[in-house]
Structure 1
């Protein structure tokens, strides 16, 4: 099946910068790389370029929590107060790990997308270069009031995953990024992935670009995102490494079968045919699970990756621009999985 002809027009339309990788259970179906990882130096992206994936790595946090459940260290029914020694004076005492994982805890978010449109605005009062660990996020939401009662509804929440990362740190004694790199990336042989500081990026890492189309100018996202990623987003991965993550998850290398199934359960309804498991979106068609997917958007970053259980096909599309992966993923889906 020739995916190339389906994708080329969309690549031109969005002026795509990044990698497109499509694979079935055994073979690469389609692989294509576009544009620059560094525009000033005219360094081209490659299949092994590292890209920021923003919230795409909430799945890593959810897997880490599930690993601690597998080990008997945690239960998804644990209350927040029972597993984290940090004071949240206005938080409901009944908040559980399950609610944090499913964006239904009701805690205040440091970036509420219903109120704010531009993630960059966060760093006008608190410089992004101060956000080097998870605790640096706490002043942005720790003393705020609840948004709604725990379990009442779905409301996408970055702060909830910061709290989950703090739980991981307390329960393991490791820095969050150290735990993920040792217990997820190494297990899956994701040797090119990590949580890198923006002022110490390794080679083969794409800079994120923010385009001002009206002026015909661009700038990097260096001052637009936290200097180092954490439990709610900001890891860097390669497209082949993300393939290894999907393969590791669905072959039970990372979790027991029971915990894997729990992570992949549609726990809460969002809208249309979209549900949410633990750190992962779940789309249905005709009352069947069509795909499991993750996505991430930051200034200068966009990312989509999906696993289709009926076929074993996986799609990974990271980009070092604000847009592109969603449209490309939809075009590939429309051709591979015609309704």
Structure 2
């Protein structure tokens, strides 16, 4: 039972308009139930320099949500027999002389179980933006350009012996894709994911090129030594990360296109049936939720899939399937709340995450922008 009625959504719209007027939110919110659009609204400005308003057709950098496109592209190659989930990445990418263990497989990369040390360990609180203080971000435009940032670091654990979020695992998966296809990652995803899903406004747009209707990323500049004072200005994110998207982040999509991607995956338009089921099924436990409970009820556990993340309730049912992304000047989330369905067993059973339900997309061109809207929507869905 949800509280996603007209009155609740109107109240949310009013709140977000007030937040935009106060410079606290800029972006697009889209809510669907069973494919019907209940809400799609644009708020704030796409360019603070020029005062260009956000439109529902505006393309946003979705940061790590890009990993969903990478995972689907790799699984397509698995379905074609050109890659295997248990192939060793060393068999497709020249990693001689590096610390990347020879046992690391494509499966490990996609499920964050490789143990590879990230270029910036975000789980340990390291800042991705600080990677580019001493190395110019504009020098990293090809997938292989990321390698020097992590291939000589010592692994966190042996492959398959743990679970730790790892951006560069997707860089290696992208390199494996490039190796077997002979094309660039971006060209391949444009043709085999965006075009096939009907995502006709999505792409990988360079930050240093003029592309119409692409939101610029901005962050507030605060007064005071701890950046906790009043906002005194705005800083664009042009030096915060590489200028064009890669397998681990940086694609640009509209809210409509991201919802279309989700419908295409669930509808079996992008992957064969066995791999559609695999994509929509939790693969490994990441967080059992024991440290997050407030005592009222057990917190959902979090499981990683092939790009997706899943909240599981104590009875094993899927509360939501989602992927979020965050970067300086960008935040985004795709979240699907499946309707309750009877448990099904067997190799041909449909995963619960693929059931009809409520799909939410929030896109923003600031690092903190997406989180208040998704929190409020989460409360409405829970009723």
How far, CA to CA, are the matches of 2:167 and 2:183 in structure 1?
21
- The 5-angstrom pairing of residues 1-339 of structure 1 reads 1-2=5-6, 3-6=9-12, 8-9=14-15, 12=18, 15-214=24-223, 215-271=231-287, 272=289, 273-286=301-314, 287-310=316-339, 311-338=356-383
CA offset at residue 11 of structure 1? 5.9
Secondary structure at the aligned position of 1:297 is classed as: strand
Residues 267 and 201 (structure 1 numbering): CA distance in 2 closer, same or farther, change over 3 Å? farther
Give a deviation string over 1:23-60, Cα, whole Å, max 9, x none. 12232101111100011211100000000010011011
Task: Please report how far the alpha carbon of residue 88 of structure 1 lies from its aligned counterpart in structure 2 after TM superposition.
Answer: 4.9
How far does the alpha carbon of each residue in 1:177-230 deviate from its partner, in whole angstroms, 9 at most, with x for none? 000000000001111111111111410000000111335211111111111110
Cα distance in 1 for residues equivalent to 2:101 and 2:60 = 37
What are the superposed Cα offsets for residues 54-95 of structure 1, whole Å, 9 maximum, x if unpaired? 001101111011000100111111112222233253222211
Aligned residues: 338
Report the Cα distance in structure 2 between the residues aligned to 1:111 and 1:233, rounded to whole angstroms. Answer: 14
Shift of 1:115: 4.3
> Normalization by structure 2: what TM-score?
0.85
SS of corresponding position for 2:56? coil
Q: Is there any run of 5+ residues in structure 1 with no aligned partner, and where? A: none
Is the radius of gyration larger for structure 1 or structure 2?
Answer: 2
Q: Is the 8 A contact 1:50 1:238 kept in 2?
A: yes
Q: Matched residue of 1:216: which SS?
A: strand
1 CA distance for matches of 2:238 and 2:95?
Answer: 30
> How far 1:10 moved relative to its partner?
5.8
SS at match of 1:104: coil
